[in-house]
C-alpha cells in the first residue's frame, strides 16, 4: 500500500486555512483518496486541552509556550498523523511546524536551531510533503477574524506583530521552495481553492498515481 501524503496549511489569522483544508479533503474524497483533516494546536484529546489552555492564558515564559505547542505536536504526530499516513490516508493539518517557527521563533526570538532540534525529536521523518502558505495582509486577516466573532488573544495582537508574523511565513516560503507554495489568500474563496488544487496536483497527485 502507498503511504499517504502529508499536507499542511499555514499563514496568519483569517487567511482561510480551515476553509481550504476542508475543501481540499472533499476534492480528494471525490478521487477516492482518503483524507483526514486535523489541526494544531489540537487533533488529539491532549492537544485540544493544550489548545484551550494556551488560547486562554499566555504562559509568562516563551519557552513554556513553545514546549506546550511541541508537546501537543508530539502526541499529534505519534497518535494521529503517522498512523494515518502509514495506512495510506492523506493528512491535512491546519497549522504545523511553520506556525511554531514563526509565532514562537520570530516573535520571541527563540533560537531557530533549538526549534529545529525539537522538530527532529517530534516530527522527523514525517515532515510535510507540501505546505500551502496562504498569504494575506494582516489587517484583512484580523478583520475577517473580527467579523467571525470574539478575537482570541492571538488575533488581538497589534497589527505590526501580525505583519511581522506574515513576513516570517513569507521567509519560509522563500527558503523552502520545494516544500512550500505561496498562495494569495486575498483572492475569492473559489480562486484560492483552485490555486490549492493546482499546487496539490502538481506536487503530489502526479507522483501518487
Ligand atoms: N500557534 C502558535 O503560536 N504556535 C504553534 O505552533 C501553533 C499555533 C500550531 C491558533 O489559533 C493560534 O495558535 C494561532 C497561532 C497559534 N493564532 N492565531 N490567531 P487558531 O487556529 O484558532 O487561529 P487561526 O489559525 O488564525 O484560525 P482562523 O482565524 O480560523 O483562520 P483560518 O483558519 O486561516 O481562516 P478560516 O477560518 O478558514 O476563515 C476565516 C474567515 O474568513 C471565515 O469567516 C471565512 O469564511 C472567511 N474567509 C476565508 N477565506 C476567505 C476568502 N478567500 N475570501 C473571503 N473570506 C474568506
Interval between CA 14 and ligand 1 midpoint (Å): 4
- Locate the ligand 1 atom nearest the alpha carbon of residue 152 and give its number: 19
Residue-averaged pLDDT of the chain:
94
Cis amide bond preceding 41, omega within 30: yes
* 16 ligand 1 Cβ < 6 A: yes
Q: Is residue 1 part of a domain?
A: no
Interval between CA 13 and ligand 1 midpoint (Å): 4
Number of domains present in the structure of the chain: 1
The per-residue pLDDT for range 151-197, each reduced to its tens digit, is 676 767 788 899 999 999 999 999 999 999 999 999 999 999 999 99
* 166 ligand 1 Cβ < 6 A: no
Alpha-helical runs (H) found in the chain:
17-30, 45-56, 62-76, 82-86, 97-99, 107-108, 112-122, 138-148, 159-175, 189-200, 206-208
Q: Is residue 46 part of a domain?
A: yes
Residue span of the structural domain in which 191 resides: 6-208
- Cα dihedral 40, 44, 48, 50 in deg (nearest 10): -80
Does pLDDT of 207 surpass 90?
no
| Smallest CA separation from ligand 1 atom 17, residue | 154
Q: At what angle do helices 138-148 and 159-175 cross, to 10 degrees?
A: 120
The per-residue pLDDT for range 118-131, each reduced to its tens digit, is 999 999 999 999 99
CATH code at position 174: 3.40.50.300
Q: What is the mean pLDDT of residues 77-103?
A: 98
The per-residue pLDDT for range 42-67, each reduced to its tens digit, is 999 999 999 999 988 878 899 999 99
pLDDT at position 208 is 63
Amino acid at each position: 500500500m502507498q503511504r499517504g501524503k502529508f499536507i499542511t496549511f499555514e499563514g496568519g489569522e483569517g487567511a482561510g486555512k480551515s476553509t481550504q483544508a476542508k475543501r481540499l479533503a472533499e476534492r480528494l474524497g471525490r478521487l477516492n483518496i482518503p483524507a483526514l483533516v486535523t489541526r494544531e494546536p489540537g487533533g488529539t484529546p491532549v492537544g485540544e486541552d493544550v489548545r484551550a489552555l494556551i488560547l486562554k492564558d499566555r504562559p509568562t515564559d516563551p519557552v513554556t509556550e513553545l514546549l506546550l505547542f511541541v508537546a501537543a505536536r508530539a502526541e499529534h504526530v505519534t497518535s494521529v498523523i503517522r498512523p494515518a499516513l502509514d495506512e495510506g490516508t492523506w493528512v491535512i493539518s491546519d497549522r504545523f511546524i511553520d506556525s511554531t517557527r514563526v509565532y514562537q521563533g520570530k516573535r520571541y526570538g527563540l533560537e531557530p536551531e533549538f526549534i529545529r532540534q525539537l522538530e527532529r525529536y517530534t516530527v522527523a521523518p514525517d515532515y510535510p510533503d507540501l505546505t500551502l502558505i496562504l498569504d494575506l495582509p494582516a489587517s484583512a486577516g484580523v478583520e475577517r477574524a473580527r467579523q467571525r466573532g470574539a478575537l482570541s488573544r492571538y488575533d488581538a495582537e497589534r497589527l505590526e506583530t501580525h505583519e511581522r508574523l506574515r513576513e516570517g511565513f513569507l521567509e519560509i516560503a522563500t527558503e523552502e521552495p520545494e516544500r512550500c507554495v505561496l498562495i494569495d489568500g486575498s483572492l475569492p474563496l473559489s480562486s484560492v481553492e483552485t490555486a490549492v488544487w493546482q499546487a496539490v496536483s502538481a506536487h503530489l497527485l502526479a507522483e501518487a498515481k
